[in-house]
Structure 1
Amino acid sequence: MKKTLLAVAALCALTSGAAMAQQQDGKWQVRVRAVHLDSANKDSTGLDLSVNDKVIPELDISYYFTPNFAAELILTYPQKHNVRAGDVKIGSLKHLPPTLLAQYHFTNFGAFKPYVGAGINYTRFSNVDILGGAADVKRNSWGGALQVGFDYALDKNWSLNFDVKKVYIDTNVSAGGVNVGKFKVDPLLVGVGVGYRF
């Protein structure tokens, strides 16, 4: 009897927590994530160009138009990468990649709240120093972005987050003012973090 009562009490506590977790109905949500950036490193220059993978901080701000539909703006600060030709470092550059996504959130799984998103990325390349200035890249890139992830609600405000994005970033590479090909970063971004909805 005592075990049964304990089991019922535990079930009630879990049900109560799940019910409370489902009440995340604020219009705004802010998340911070640690994100692993894994670059595709595809190029048509013949130089076997690549930039290094790294872990970066990420901040996003979401606005919910309805419980299902939201817009998310993803931000970080300019990220520095080493540029290599094969195994040889030939320089470095920074990129700033804000991304805006439209999302659909599934709301019928209790505290588990999966979502999908699609949108657009703008990347600004800066501080380009390749082969001592002998080579350069186009400074602006526009491309698509795809996303899948989920929040796990801890209470009416806080949640844990897991997120995967594919972002399409490329740039033209030139040497002596002559275009020598296109370099595609096209990173896969895998992130974990926390969110606060209000």
Structure 2
Amino acid sequence: MKKSNITLAVAATLLFSCAAQAYEKGDILLRVGLTTVAPDESSSNIALAGADLGFGLSVDNNTQVGLNLAYFLTNNLNVELLAATPFTHDIQVNDNPLGLTKLGEATHLPPTLTLNYFFNNSGAAFQPYIGAGLNYTLFFDEEFTDTNEGIGFSDLDLDASFGYSIQAGFDYAVDTHWLINASVRYIDISTDASFTLNNSDLGANNAPGAVTVDIDPYVYTLSVAYKF
């Protein structure tokens, strides 16, 4: 076979394989991988019985199994639901005169619904996209450490949060069904936390406490996807 014919055959094969990778209306993507929630938090100072203690809180990172289901409304638009196994974060106390470090921990679920636009639907393996959507974060299993409960801290409660989300990412097609995905999101998460302190040595009997924390995490996901 002449070189020119071989070249044409290879080009035709690549064109066919790439065309098979293009998204179409009605396609469904199921992604499974690892998702890391990395808070970029800021906090008000903790108020105890109306008094400003002069220090706030911070929240650490956590990684869990991320689940993602997307449905293509058109060849370039899909709607995507982000879910995951529950994230558990340590709640740390910033520099303070009480000598506290880890105050407690809280678990949350941050389901996020996003509308994504895919730039390149020509059939290329590399499919970049951007998106925006809404997030609802539900906190549960909030608790102080045993040490802090012994001091008299109790009744830790974090309000649920409703906010926006933006993201950028890409799919890379390995074949007509399997893909690799990577994405980064910014999610607007803010919560009001409340608690009670009972410690006669500190002069705090049933003293109510409160603090507002803007968690505002960056959420990183690396996953494997299957296109139905």
Query: Shorter-chain TM-score: which interval?
Result: 0.7 to 0.9
Structure ID, larger Rg: 2
Task: Report percent identity of matched pairs.
Answer: 32
- State the distance in 1 between where 2:118 and 2:158 align: 36
Aligned to 2:214: 184
Distance 1:23 1:36, change over 3 A: closer
Alignment of 1:1-198 (within 5 A): 10-22=10-22, 26-45=26-45, 46-86=54-94, 88-106=101-119, 107-108=121-122, 110-130=124-144, 131-132=148-149, 133-134=153-154, 136-176=156-196, 178=208, 180-198=210-228
Q: When the two structures are superposed, what TM-score results if normalisation uses the length of structure 2? A: 0.76
Q: In structure 1, what is the Cα distance between the partners aligned to 2:35 and 2:4?
A: 44
TM superposition shift of 1:139: 2.9
In the alignment, the residues of structure 2 paired with residue 178 and residue 161 of structure 1 have an alpha-carbon distance, to the nearest angstrom, of 46
User: How far apart are 1:158 and its partner, in Å?
Assistant: 1.5
What SS does the aligned partner of 1:67 have?
coil
Map Cα deviations across residues 142-191 of structure 1 (whole Å, 9 max, x no partner).
11111111111222222111111101111112243746331011110111
CA RMSD of aligned residues (A): 2.5
| Structure 2 unpaired stretches of 5+ | 46-53, 96-100, 197-206
What is the TM-score with the length of structure 1 in the denominator? 0.86
Contact 1:24–1:157 (CA under 8 A) maintained in structure 2: no
Asked whether the equivalents of residues 94 and 127 of structure 1 are also in contact (C-alpha less than 8 Å), the reply is: yes
* Offset from partner CA, 1:86-139 (integer Å, 9 cap, x none): 271111110111111112122236222111111111111111113424362333
Q: Secondary structure at the match of 1:15?
A: helix
Q: Secondary structure at the match of 2:20?
A: helix
Q: State how many pairs are aligned.
A: 198
